[in-house]
Amino acid sequence: MEEKRAPDIIFKCMTSLNLIIILYIAGSMAASLTGYVRENTALSFLQQVNAVTIVPWKIPIAALLLYGGLLFFLAVQNESGLLFYVKTGLEIIISLLISYLLNFSYTGMLLLILADVTRRFPKAKRKFAVIGIICGVYLLSDYNLVSGRYGITALDTYLAYYRSDVQAIMLGLRNVLNSLNILIFIFYIILLIREQMSEKERILSLNDKLNEANEELRLANIQMEEYARESIKNAETRERNRLAREIHDTLGHTLTGIITGLDACVTLVDAAPDATKEQLKVIADVARNGMTDVRRSVKALRPDALEKMELPKALTAMIDEMKKATHAQIEYDCTAALKNFNKDEEEIIYRIVQESITNAIRHGKADKIWISISMEYNVLSVKIKDNGVGCAKIEKGFGLHHMEERLNMLHGSLYCNGEEGFLMEAKIPIRWGEEA
Amino acid sequence: MDNSRKKKNLVMLILGMGFIIAALLLLSDIGRNFPGKNRVITVGAFSDSYWEVPNGYSYQILEDAIALFEEQNPGIKVEYVSGILKEDYPEWLSEQLILGNAPDVFLVPGEYFNDLAEIGALKDLSEMIEDDTGFEKEAFYSSVFAYGMYDEGQYALPYECAPKLMFVNKSILDKEGLEVPKEDWTWDDFYEICRAVTKDADGNGTLDQFGAVEYTWEEAFDSNGVKLFNRQGTECYFADEQVEEAIVFVEKLQKLYEGYNITARDFDLGKVAFQPMLFSEYRAYKPYPLSIKKYSGFEWECISMPAGKSGSNIAGLDTLMVAMNENTVNQEYAWEFMKLLTYDEGIQSEIFDYSEGVSVLKKVTESDQTLQLLIESSGEDSGFNLNVLSNAVENAVVIPRFRNYEEAVAQVDKAVGDIIEGSSNISMEQIIWNRKINNFLKDKEGR
């Protein structure tokens, strides 16, 4: 921001300097004229001039008014076509009028216009044509070129009123001021170029940064893809593990029982056929129970009710099925409106309930299960309690571990207690604001 | 672009335009155009005679013209600043021009006309002359009228004039038994008389009676049809044959006096037979008391100039003109007043009453009334031929109008002096000098 102001400050310097020069020349012209009149040498002066001069006091005032007008025009900020050309054209005409007033002894106002055009109108289409025109006018509005044709009197002729040494100083001062104006103009242009170059550099460095970010993004994308692939694999592995566990938990258990029972029967069958009968009945029970378990497992492995129904319906359907399959008594109490969850959340709620019931029946041998779902301050709490055997020390088996992992992914938590029956409580923060 | 910026731009544009219009109004002198202010016409004039002779009627003609004008144009006043001497007048006028207070109508002495026209102080009257059906420029002597021309435009009207005539000391001619030359006399007649009268009359060994004084190359050029410059003053014709003839004649004339330096004082003392002078001198000194004072002891008369080989009996002319201020806001009335001063026969005939010049109107100058007046004032009942006067005015040489005329003439003067004093081939020298003067003219024009 500081740097952007530097050309503006120099531009202000230029406008002030031009004001000083114009006032200086107009003032010395007026002073010379009144001097000629006062000293009665007007005749010899008029014999030197090329045109009747302007009334002395009017020269500085008219020059000031014209310069004021020029400054107002310079303050017009517009980059659009027609107004820009009209404004610049008027500015050139005013400059020529001022120059005419000053007998073309000073034309530096044109540099002011040039500075303004180069600064303010970087986008104007024919900017270079306009700059060319201004330069042309500046070059051609030289006193020596103009005076021959249009009856203009040299400043020197005016200043001839003064003693030759004073004259030299006055003309010298004019030249110094004029050169100063040109120098400031050059300085101004240099600053402007520098500013534009640094602007370009900034854009270049921004471009570099953008490219870097793009590259990072691309890498991250690749990583994401890999991660996605891995997580699919993970899901597969998990599913396989679950299958294995189910098989082990149900078929393995049952078959082990049956095998052990049958082995006992082989030994008993000759000695005590009745006991063997009894034993075979038990084995049949075990096999039947195993069958029930297998059915339940197959049901659990089947595509879920959740995929076909809304969460609340899916839950009640699943609980009803469990009741029928296990003869366990299940009480279900839901106080939260199970709506507007995203897929992850629905899935985990469903799985927690399903898994807990399975666990309670399978491991806890429970015949009564209480399920309650409630919501408190955006945290959904799922509580499952049973009257089974419980366990003094909770060993997180495959199921619990898996549940905890999935809860962690949703920033949730899991609490278990196996002292009186088994109590499990899952808390899930719900992020409605983000997705619903 | 947002609205506030648009608004700001509009304000800036309007303010800028306002300042510029204010500046233009200031420069264009609009203030002087307010109604009520333009009921006064100012006139610039000087108090003494243009012809450098004492005159008791300084503002008489102007006053009469003003009275007549105010009577014809009720409600319009004409004012002038009195008490400005002729010698101060050009300076006064210049100061008024610089200060922007120059009068609407002002007198322009012939020698300042070029400068004033060049710097644009005078209004071009061509259109007004054309549009004014009551104005016939043929009423003026054409030569005098042409004196107010500059660059194709008519920038001034003649007010009064005085042609150059040859003054003859009749007493010397009588004494030598010579006739006063006729109207159409030539250089040969002139030379013969000069040769006859140049002698040592009192026998003391030195020449004390001469043929002519102040008959310079200028008079010789004028009467030999020399056209020295073109109209724009960009070219000099110094190498012409007529120029050579004139130089040869002037040289021949000078040789008669054996190197004596004759002055106008010698004419006053009655020792010289001829001197070219303006007619105004005749008007000033012919009347009885004044003639005693200046030209005592001899009879004198004025006649036309002798004609050169290739020319006629003519000479130059001096004129006082009236011009209009370029910046006048009363153009219409200023023109009317100028017309009254120059074109009105009543006012013009007053020139013969109150001034020493000659009216610029043919009808006035050639009237019986004028003849009567001239004869009365000269105190002689015979001799004066009005034809001499009107011919001299009508056929006067019109000098070209360009700014550096006076300087160019000075160059020619130097050239002629150089050639006469030197001994080399005249036509050769003419070519060399012609080139020099042409260079001078080009140099001046380029500035």
The percentage of chain A sitting over the pLDDT mark of 70, rounded to a whole number, equals 92
Does residue B9 belong to the interface with chain A, where contact is any CB pair within 8 Å?
yes
Question: How confident is the prediction for chain A on average, in pLDDT?
Answer: 84
Does residue A70 belong to the interface with chain B, where contact is any CB pair within 8 Å?
yes
Residue A436 has pLDDT above 50, yes or no: no
pLDDT of residue B38: 56
Q: What pLDDT digit, counting tens, does each position of B185-239 carry?
A: 999 999 999 999 998 878 887 888 888 998 999 999 999 989 999 888 889 999 9
CA B194 from chain centre, in angstroms, equals 29
A186 vs A400, more confident: A186
* Residue A395 identity: E
Q: What pLDDT digit, counting tens, does each position of A239-295 carry?
A: 788 778 777 777 777 888 888 888 888 888 888 888 888 888 888 888 888 887 777
Tell me if B121 and A90 make a contact (CB, 8 A cut-off).
Answer: no
- B19: chain A residues, CB-CB within 8 Å: 65-66, 68-69, 72
**What chain B residue is nearest to A50 in terms of C-alpha separation?**
B119
- A42: chain B residues, CB-CB within 8 Å: 91, 94-95, 97-98
Instruction: Take residue B363 and report the two structure tokens written for it.
Output: 């009808």
**pLDDT tier for residue B296 given thresholds of 50, 70 and 90:** low
**What chain A residue is nearest to B87 in terms of C-alpha separation?**
A43
**pLDDT tier for residue A1 given thresholds of 50, 70 and 90:** very low
Does residue B15 belong to the interface with chain A, where contact is any CB pair within 8 Å?
yes
Tell me if A52 and B15 make a contact (CB, 8 A cut-off).
Answer: no
Does residue B3 belong to the interface with chain A, where contact is any CB pair within 8 Å?
no
Provide the b/e sequence for B133-170 (b: ≥16 CB within 10 Å): eebeeebbbebbbbbbbbeeebbbbbbbbbbbbbbbbe
Query: Which residues, numbered 315 to 354 in chain A, qualify as contacts with chain B under a Cβ-Cβ cut-off of 8 Å?
Result: none
Does residue B4 belong to the interface with chain A, where contact is any CB pair within 8 Å?
no
Query: Which residues, numbered 94 to 113 in chain B, qualify as contacts with chain A under a Cβ-Cβ cut-off of 8 Å?
Result: 94-95, 97-100
From the list B5, B19, B120, the residue facing A72 with the nearest CB is B19
Q: What pLDDT digit, counting tens, does each position of B91-116 carry?
A: 999 999 999 889 999 999 988 998 99
Instruction: Take residue B106 and report the two structure tokens written for it.
Output: 């002002």
Tell me if A58 and B446 make a contact (CB, 8 A cut-off).
Answer: no
pLDDT of residue B230: 87
Cα dihedral A203/A206/A211/A215 (nearest 10): 180
Choose from B3, B8, B88, B99 for mutation: most chain A CBs within 10 A: B99
Does residue B26 belong to the interface with chain A, where contact is any CB pair within 8 Å?
yes
CA distance A161 to chain B (A): 14
- B100: chain A residues, CB-CB within 8 Å: 54-55, 58
Closest CA to A67 of A48, A90, A27, A94: A94
- Residues with Cβ within 8 Å of A116's Cβ and at least 6 positions away in sequence, in order, are A11, A74, A91
Tell me if A43 and B19 make a contact (CB, 8 A cut-off).
Answer: no
Tell me if A90 and B23 make a contact (CB, 8 A cut-off).
Answer: no
- The SS3 of residue B197 is helix
CA distances from A75 to A10, A192, B6, B8, B10 (A): 15, 18, 12, 9, 10
Quickly count: other Cβ atoms within 10 Å of residue A248's Cβ. Answer: 12
Instruction: Please give the span between the terminal C-alpha atoms of chain A, in angstroms, as a whole number.
Output: 44
Q: What pLDDT digit, counting tens, does each position of B365-395 carry?
A: 888 888 888 777 766 544 567 788 888 888 8
Domain extents for chain A?
Answer: 2-161, 306-436
Helices (H), B153-207: 170-176, 187-197
Does residue A54 belong to the interface with chain B, where contact is any CB pair within 8 Å?
yes
- ipTM for this prediction: 0.83
CA dist B325 and B99 (Å) reads 13
Tell me if A52 and B97 make a contact (CB, 8 A cut-off).
Answer: yes
Residue B447 has pLDDT above 60, yes or no: no
Q: What average pLDDT score do residues B43-64 get?
A: 83
- Residues with Cβ within 8 Å of A7's Cβ and at least 6 positions away in sequence, in order, are A119, A188, A191, A192, A195
**What chain A residue is nearest to B443 in terms of C-alpha separation?**
A148
Q: What pLDDT digit, counting tens, does each position of A85-141 carry?
A: 888 888 999 999 999 899 888 999 999 999 888 877 656 567 788 888 888 888 888
- A83: chain B residues, CB-CB within 8 Å: 9
Closest CA to A174 of A192, A197, A156: A156
> How many interchain CB pairs under 8 A, A with B?
103
Question: Are the CB atoms for A155 and A174 separated by under 8 Å?
Answer: yes
User: Which of A327-331, B222-226, B440-444 has the highest mean predicted lDDT (pLDDT)?
Assistant: B222-226
* Residue B426 identity: I
Residue A57 has pLDDT above 60, yes or no: yes
Q: What pLDDT digit, counting tens, does each position of A280-320 carry?
A: 888 888 888 888 777 777 766 655 666 777 888 888 888 88
Does residue B200 belong to the interface with chain A, where contact is any CB pair within 8 Å?
no
CATH code linked to domain B39-162+318-394: 3.40.190.10
Residue A185 has pLDDT above 70, yes or no: yes
Cα dihedral A382/A387/A388/A389 (nearest 10): 110
Q: What average pLDDT score do residues A230-245 get?
A: 84
Residue B351 has pLDDT above 70, yes or no: yes
Q: What pLDDT digit, counting tens, does each position of B239-261 carry?
A: 999 999 999 999 999 888 877 88
Q: Which residues pair with residue B317 across a beta bridge? A: B163
CA dist A165 and A173 (Å) reads 12
CA dist A326 and A367 (Å) reads 8
Tell me if B94 and A70 make a contact (CB, 8 A cut-off).
Answer: no
Q: What pLDDT digit, counting tens, does each position of A14-30 carry?
A: 999 999 999 999 999 99
Q: What pLDDT digit, counting tens, does each position of A142-183 carry?
A: 777 776 666 788 888 899 999 999 999 999 999 999 999 999
Domain extents for chain B?
Answer: 39-162+318-394
From the list A42, A70, A97, the residue facing B94 with the nearest CB is A42
- Domain topology for A306-436: Heat Shock Protein 90 (3.30.565)
pLDDT of residue A149: 64
From the list A52, A56, A62, the residue facing B27 with the nearest CB is A62
Does residue B121 belong to the interface with chain A, where contact is any CB pair within 8 Å?
yes
User: Which of A106-120, A208-222, A421-435, B179-193 has the highest mean predicted lDDT (pLDDT)?
Assistant: A208-222
- A75: chain B residues, CB-CB within 8 Å: 12
Three-class DSSP labels, chain A: CHHHHHHHHHHHHHHHHHHHHHHHHHHHHHHHHHHHHHCCCHHHHHCCCCCCCCCCCHHHHHHHHHHHHHHHHHCCCCCCHHHHHHHHHHHHHHHHHHHHHCCCCCCCHHHHHHHHHHHHCCCCCCHHHHHHHHHHHHHHCCHHHHHHHHCCCCHHHHHCCCCHHHHHHHHHHHHHHHHHHHHHHHHHHHHHHHHHHHHHHHHHHHHHHHHHHHHHHHHHHHHHHHHHHHHHHHHHHHHHHHHHHHHHHHHHHHHHHHHHHHHHHHHHHHHCHHHHHHHHHHHHHHHHHHHHHHHHHHHHHCCCHHHHCCHHHHHHHHHHHHHHHHCCEEEEEECCCCCCCCHHHHHHHHHHHHHHHHHHHHCCCCCEEEEEEEEECCEEEEEEEECCCCCCCCCCCHHHHHHHHHHHHCCCEEEEECCCCEEEEEEEECCHHHHC
pLDDT of residue B236: 92
Q: What are phi and psi of A215, to 5 degrees?
A: -60, -45
CA distance A94 to chain B (A): 8
Does residue A43 belong to the interface with chain B, where contact is any CB pair within 8 Å?
yes
Residue B88 has pLDDT above 80, yes or no: yes
Tell me if A58 and B326 make a contact (CB, 8 A cut-off).
Answer: no
Tell me if A73 and B12 make a contact (CB, 8 A cut-off).
Answer: yes
